[in-house]
């Protein structure tokens, strides 16, 4: 593993497999389901944990292992587990550490499927979940119970880009001897390293920025070696939501350009957010890079930059918002984020549709909220596309008045 502390170098060299047979520069792709043993004794030794080595790709694979070691190094954590999807990373982290009778505290605003997992699936198996507004960390303190085992959050929050105080929340979790789990998908380790603020488990939807090319669905869990071994040998091994070697190979390729791509994503987002914040048909822009955003205080402290995702509210109704999205040309109407292409979507009817209407409002997700993932195109072209789409927006009666 690379000993470099610079993430640009880690993204290319950490966890590198040396191909001693052929000297391949690119990471070898071990596209195999199983591995041959030299003899029956070696197979028995590996199954019984007496000898290291690969057995079956659901239990481990050299290509997948390189990805795990690389992302762990980039996050400044000991180890990582690769999963089939981002939601597999969320569910495996929770299911490996919670059981019936336990209590979980979660942010009131999280990704829609994370919310559905916690509010419906976990409670089905006797795990109590309390959703709180974590902008005020005291709400977390108030929510603690004797059976609280973990605190889960995203920062920035999907989709309204609220930034949470990881340092303060991390200290609260430490004081209560509680697992602190952070979904770091929006920032990536290039912009934010939650472990520096006390996070015990850091999750990524590797589908997004880590891969960066819209052709993989995957997840990553980073933690201590002990925790990763626990997650791998329980939830991941037995439920089976592990990553394929080919997907790992594609993400390794994507990681090499992650630091450079994040610079462009952030630069484009800042220019677009500035433009939108000055437009007469925009009610509000949610982007931590803007000086008047509450999350701006964390830039340069908790986060190196504000990221590539912007949310904003139009001065129109839900129909007007849909019409606006339909008029865009360079923005692809699609969920997800972190791709080279710029994407646009309507959270209330798409990514956060698992929420009930009142739950969305409590989480700060209005019907007129639009989320865009700024890609790698030229910012001027993206702004021109938004401008022509905004020209056709008709103000709703409330705003027209």
Residue 37 DSSP SS3? coil
Residues of the chain with CATH 3.90.1150.10: 258-400
Q: pLDDT tens digits, the chain, 401 residues: what are they?
A: 456 789 999 999 998 888 888 899 999 999 999 999 999 999 999 999 899 999 999 999 999 999 999 999 999 999 999 999 999 999 999 999 999 999 999 999 898 899 999 999 999 999 999 999 999 999 999 999 999 999 999 999 988 899 999 999 999 999 999 999 999 999 999 999 999 999 999 999 999 999 999 999 999 999 999 999 999 999 999 999 999 999 999 999 999 999 999 999 999 999 999 999 999 999 999 999 999 999 999 999 999 999 999 999 999 887 888 889 999 999 999 989 999 999 999 887 776 676 777 777 776 777 788 999 999 999 999 999 999 999 998 888 776 55
C-alpha 158/C-alpha 161 separation (Å) is 6
Which one-letter DSSP state was computed for residue 156?
S
Residues of the chain with CATH 3.40.640.10: 7-255
Estimate the share of the chain in helix, then strand, then coil, as percent rounded to the nearest 5: 40, 15, 45
Q: Which CATH number does 7-255 carry?
A: 3.40.640.10
Contact 63, 249 (CB under 8 A): yes
Out of 108, 193, 208, 232, the active site residue is: 208
Number of neighbouring beta carbons within 10 Å of residue 206:
31
- What is the CATH topology of the domain spanning 258-400? 3.90.1150
Q: Is residue 111 flagged as an active site residue?
A: yes
Q: Is residue 371 flagged as an active site residue?
A: no
Q: What angle do CA 387, 185, 379 make, to 5 degrees?
A: 25
Q: Is residue 183 flagged as an active site residue?
A: yes
Out of 46, 54, 70, 111, the active site residue is: 111
Out of 79, 102, 165, 183, the active site residue is: 183
Which pLDDT score, from 0 to 100, does residue 396 have?
80
Out of 58, 171, 253, 304, the active site residue is: 58
Which pLDDT score, from 0 to 100, does residue 319 have?
82
Token pair listed for 100: 């019936």
């Amino acid at each position: 593993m690379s000993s470099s502390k610079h993430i640009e170098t880690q993204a290319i060299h950490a966890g590198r497999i040396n191909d001693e047979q052929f000297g391949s520069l690119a990471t070898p792709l071990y596209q195999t389901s199983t591995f041959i043993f030299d003899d029956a004794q070696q197979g028995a030794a590996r199954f019984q944990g007496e000898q290291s080595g690969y057995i079956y790709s659901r239990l481990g694979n050299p290509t997948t292992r390189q990805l795990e070691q690389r992302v762990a190094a980039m996050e400044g954590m000991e180890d990582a587990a690769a999963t089939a999807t981002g939601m597999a990373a969320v569910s495996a982290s929770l299911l490996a550490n919670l059981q019936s009778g336990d209590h979980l505290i979660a942010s009131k605003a999280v990704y829609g499927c994370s919310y559905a997992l916690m509010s419906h699936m976990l409670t089905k198996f006797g795990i109590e979940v309390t959703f709180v507004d974590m902008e005020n960390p005291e709400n977390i303190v108030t929510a603690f119970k004797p059976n609280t085992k973990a605190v889960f959050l995203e920062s920035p929050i999907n989709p309204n880009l609220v930034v949470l105080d990881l340092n303060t929340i991390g200290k609260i979790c430490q004081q209560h001897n509680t697992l602190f789990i952070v979904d770091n998908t929006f920032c990536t380790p290039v912009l934010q390293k939650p472990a520096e603020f006390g996070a015990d488990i850091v999750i990524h939807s590797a589908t997004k920025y880590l891969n960066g090319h819209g052709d993989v669905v995957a997840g990553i869990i980073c933690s201590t070696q002990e925790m990763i071994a626990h997650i791998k040998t329980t939830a991941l091994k037995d439920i089976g939501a592990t990553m394929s070697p080919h997907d790992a190979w594609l993400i390794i390729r994507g990681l090499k350009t992650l630091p450079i791509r994040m610079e462009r994503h952030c630069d484009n987002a800042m220019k677009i957010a500035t433009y939108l914040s000055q437009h007469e048909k925009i009610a509000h822009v949610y982007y931590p890079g803007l000086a008047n955003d509450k999350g701006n205080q964390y830039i340069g402290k908790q986060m190196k930059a504000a990221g590539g995702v912007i949310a904003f509210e139009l001065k129109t109704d839900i129909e007007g918002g849909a019409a606006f999205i339909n008029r865009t040309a360079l923005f692809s109407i699609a969920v997800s984020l972190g791709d080279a292409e710029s994407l646009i979507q309507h959270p209330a009817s798409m990514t956060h549709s698992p929420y009930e209407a009142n739950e969305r409002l409590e989480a700060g997700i209005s019907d007129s909220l639009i989320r865009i993932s700024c890609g790698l195109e030229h910012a001027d072209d993206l702004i021109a596309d938004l401008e022509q789409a905004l020209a056709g927006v008709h103000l709703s009666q409330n705003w027209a008045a």
